[in-house]
């Protein structure tokens, strides 16, 4: 089934082929989950959104129209709408608690390097999450999911020029947020990026 395109797998699954649906799910599940996680910042929301996306595909196969774009763009569009509904319903973000008893220097230099890397990654995640949703969407789609401008435009339902301008503005805001962090975090971010 790996030789089939997403659209071919979809057509087969819409006709009841469970193996085709499983292949499509295995192929697209990770990217839909990552997108939802980057947009919401919460694993439980990403899991629920991913489930909703694929349930939509099963329950309402007629919603996807091949003439309007790729299946991946449709999946990201459904995920986007689900995430936005979650964000509207629940504005609070769960922040990771810091363990005050942990002494990285007592654990050795490798642990300290790993902790620094994790702090940098967390700083980037928090900076992305703090972006307004219109900019966060394009940063996640284009920079983190490596989607083309036209693919992101299909997902968001906006012209390619709008994607470009939002991405430019979003990257600028993201850079400003990361520059405002501590110098140690900024240097670690440059190394991990």
CATH number of the domain bearing residue 108: 1.10.10.10
d(CA 168, CA 139): 9
Q: Is residue 61 one of the residues assigned to a domain?
A: yes
* Mean pLDDT, the chain, integer: 82
Average pLDDT over residues 8-36: 94
Looking at residue 78, its pLDDT comes to 94
Q: Answer yes or no: do 85 and 109 share one domain.
A: no
Q: For residue 92, which phi and psi values (nearest 5 degrees)?
A: -85, 145
d(CA 146, CA 121): 18
Calculate mean pLDDT across residues 87-116. 55
Are residue 124 and residue 72 in the same domain, yes or no?
no
Q: Which of 89, 113, 148 is the last residue of a domain?
A: 89
pTM for the whole thing?
0.64
Domain membership of residue 136 (yes or no) is yes
User: What is the rounded radius of gyration, in angstroms, for the C-alpha atoms of the chain?
Assistant: 19
Same domain, 123 and 187: yes
Terminal CA-CA length for the chain: 34
pLDDT at 120: 72
Structural domain contains residue 95:
no
Domain that holds residue 83: 6-89
Distance of alpha carbon 141 from alpha carbon 167, whole angstroms: 10
Q: What is the mean pLDDT of residues 8-13?
A: 94
The CATH number given to whatever domain includes residue 11 is 1.10.1740.10
User: Residue 128 in 3-state DSSP?
Assistant: helix
In the predicted model, is pLDDT for residue 188 greater than 50? Answer: no
**112 vs 100 pLDDT, higher one:** 112
pLDDT of residue 135: 93
Instruction: Inform me whether the pLDDT recorded for 13 exceeds 80.
Output: yes
Same domain, 71 and 114: no
97 domain-assigned: no
Q: What pLDDT does residue 114 have? A: 66
Report if residue 99 sits inside a domain: no
Domain total in the chain: 2
Instruction: Dump pLDDT digits (tens) for 146-178.
Output: 889 998 998 899 999 999 999 999 999 988 888
Distance CA 46, CA 39 (A): 8
In a domain, 181, yes or no: yes
Residue 184 in this model has a pLDDT that exceeds 60: no
Q: What is the pLDDT of residues 39-50, one digit of tens each?
A: 888 899 999 999
* 1 belongs to a structural domain: no
Q: Could you tell me if 58 and 17 lie in one domain?
A: yes
Judge if 17 and 53 occupy the same domain: yes
- 118: pLDDT strictly greater than 80: no
For residue 137, give the H/E element and its range.
Answer: helix 133-138
CB 54 within 8 A of CB 95: no
Structure tokens at 25: 């799910």
Tell me, yes or no, whether 55 and 112 share the same domain.
no
Choose the weakest-confidence range: 1-15, 26-40, 102-116.
102-116
In a domain, 94, yes or no: no
Q: By percentage, how much of the chain surpasses pLDDT 70?
A: 79
| CA neighbor of 130 nearest in space, from 188, 192, 180, 67 | 180
d(CA 5, CA 20): 10
Average pLDDT of the residues in 89-100:
48
Confidence band of 185 (pLDDT split at 50, 70, 90) = very low
């Amino acid at each position: 089934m790996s030789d089939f395109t997403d659209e071919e797998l979809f057509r087969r699954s819409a006709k009841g082929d469970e193996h085709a649906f499983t292949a499509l799910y295995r192929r697209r599940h990770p990217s839909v989950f990552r997108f939802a996680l980057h947009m919401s910042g919460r694993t439980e929301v990403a899991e629920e959104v991913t489930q909703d996306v694929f349930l939509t595909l099963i329950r309402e196969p007629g919603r996807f129209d091949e003439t309007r774009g790729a299946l991946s763009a449709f999946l990201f569009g459904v995920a986007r709408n689900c995430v936005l509904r979650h964000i509207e319903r629940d504005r609070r973000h769960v922040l990771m608690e810091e363990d005050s008893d942990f002494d990285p220097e007592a654990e050795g230099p490798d642990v300290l390097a790993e902790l620094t890397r994790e702090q940098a990654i967390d700083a980037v995640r928090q900076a992305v999450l703090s972006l307004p949703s219109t900019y966060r969407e394009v940063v996640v789609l284009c920079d983190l999911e490596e989607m083309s401008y036209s693919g992101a435009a299909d997902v968001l339902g906006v012209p390619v020029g709008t994607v470009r301008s939002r991405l430019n503005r979003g990257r600028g805001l993201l850079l400003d947020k990361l520059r405002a962090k501590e110098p140690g975090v900024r240097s670690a971010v440059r190394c991990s990026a």
